[in-house]
């Protein structure tokens, strides 16, 4: 019995290490084979994203008029309409029936936490070669509303992500207009009720417009316009969370794109599985990751105005927000245009 056990475990070790080698060789090949797509076009259209436009959008989106955009309240509906109007003005279509942009969520879905109906906003650019496959870029549109007569403006959280998403969409639209449609579709997904418990993104994955099997990845943007205390002296940074958790290739692509174009210091502190902040589980990308869809969460970390009425547009670093938005645009471009779809090598069953 002992011997048998020994033999069995020896065989297991052998098989284990052998397949591991194969796996790592395969992954190494993936890394070598990443071919950066269309670099001059990427730079050209990334440069349509500007600090001036970010400034304009965030001063409007995080203004008094939207009353802190509390999910289900009048200010949030206004914010959703603002986003919808932006897409209509820029002739960027919605993938929803009748081009209606708003994905309605009845109040029952919110389990009593939100008292009214709410909505996500969806727009997209259709892919030329694989229109059924989709790269999602997401950002939540809601925030904390009004408390004790004080408006929680949420300029960074998440005016910054919203503005990035709008300008990234505009950049893809400009490319499309010039005849450069992406190979795969790109969905611009603005979700509601993130602050109440990631409800809008949960609703989307339960009611997806593109099948989850054909959802290549989710690039989620939540707070990218500020600098946290740790990086005060070197603000050329961005936290990336999740990039290697489900797809090693996604992590390599993300790094390669950054090294090629922007050289931002990508900080993986919060990607540590033992990190106590647990940010991996705390924004909308997690609803995709749960379904084995690879994600990257882009985040500047928390700061002294986090979840306070003082998170206002004057404190956003617009040049930095622009640079970070360009990186996300370039990453999405690569994922939408490379020949083969992204490989998921670490799916959890
Ligand atoms: Zn947020």
Output the pLDDT for position 349: 72
Q: What angle do CA 70, 76, 79 make, to 5 degrees?
A: 140
Output the pLDDT for position 31: 83
Ligand 1 center to 338 CA (angstroms): 30
What separation in angstroms does the CA of 254 have from each of 88, 227, 326? 31, 21, 12
Ligand 1 center to 194 CA (angstroms): 7
Ligand 1 center to 72 CA (angstroms): 16
Ligand 1 center to 50 CA (angstroms): 22
**pTM for the structure as a whole:** 0.93
Ligand 1 center to 95 CA (angstroms): 25
Output the pLDDT for position 20: 58
Bridge partner list, 124: 187
CATH homologous superfamily for the domain 36-337: Zn peptidases (3.40.630.10)
Q: Where are the domains of the chain?
A: 36-337
Ligand 1 center to 280 CA (angstroms): 13
Ligand 1 center to 317 CA (angstroms): 17
Ligand 1 center to 56 CA (angstroms): 20
Query: What does pLDDT average to in each consecutive run of 10 residues of the chain (349 residues)?
Result: 38 48 74 90 98 98 98 98 98 94 98 96 98 98 98 98 98 98 98 96 98 98 98 98 97 97 98 93 96 98 97 98 98 97 90
Ligand 1 center to 196 CA (angstroms): 10
Output the pLDDT for position 91: 98
Ligand 1 center to 79 CA (angstroms): 15
Ligand 1 center to 286 CA (angstroms): 13
Alpha-carbon distance of 251 to 274, in angstroms, equals: 19
Ligand 1 center to 279 CA (angstroms): 11
Q: Residue 199: exposed, middle, or buried by beta-carbon count in 10 A (0-12, 13-18, 19+)?
A: buried
Output the pLDDT for position 27: 73
Output the pLDDT for position 11: 43
């Amino acid at each position: 019995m002992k011997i048998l056990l020994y033999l069995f475990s020896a065989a297991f070790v052998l098989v284990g290490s052998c397949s591991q080698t194969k796996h790592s060789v395969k992954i190494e090949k993936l890394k070598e084979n990443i071919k950066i797509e269309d670099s001059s076009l990427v730079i050209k259209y990334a440069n349509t994203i500007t600090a001036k436009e970010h400034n304009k959008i965030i001063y409007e989106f995080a203004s008094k008029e939207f009353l802190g955009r509390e999910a289900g309240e009048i200010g949030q509906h206004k914010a959703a309409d603002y986003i919808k109007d932006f897409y209509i003005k820029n002739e960027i279509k919605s993938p929803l029936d009748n081009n209606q942009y708003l994905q309605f969520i009845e109040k029952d879905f919110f389990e009593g936490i939100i008292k009214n109906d709410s909505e996500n906003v969806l727009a997209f650019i259709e892919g030329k070669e694989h229109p059924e496959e989709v790269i999602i870029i997401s950002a939540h549109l809601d925030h904390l509303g009004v408390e004790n007569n004080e408006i929680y403006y949420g300029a960074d959280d998440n005016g910054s992500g919203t503005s990035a998403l709008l300008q990234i969409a505009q950049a893809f639209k400009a490319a499309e207009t010039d005849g450069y449609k992406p190979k795969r579709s790109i969905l611009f997904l603005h979700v509601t009720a993130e602050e109440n418990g990631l409800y809008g993104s949960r609703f989307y994955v339960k009611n997806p417009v593109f099948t989850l099997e054909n959802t290549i990845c989710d690039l989620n943007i939540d707070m990218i316009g500020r600098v946290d205390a740790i990086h005060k002296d070197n603000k050329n940074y961005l936290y990336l969370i999740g990039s290697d958790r489900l797809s090693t290739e996604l992590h390599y692509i993300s790094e390669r794109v950054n090294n090629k174009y922007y050289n931002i210091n990508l900080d993986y502190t919060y990607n540590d599985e033992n990190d106590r902040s647990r940010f991996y589980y705390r924004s909308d990308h997690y609803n995709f990751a749960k379904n084995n869809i690879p994600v990257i969460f882009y985040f500047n970390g928390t700061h002294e105005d986090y979840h306070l009425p003082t998170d206002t547009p004057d404190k956003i670093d617009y040049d930095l927000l622009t640079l970070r938005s360009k990186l996300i645009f370039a990453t999405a471009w690569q994922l939408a245009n490379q020949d083969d779809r992204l490989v998921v090598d670490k799916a959890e069953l």
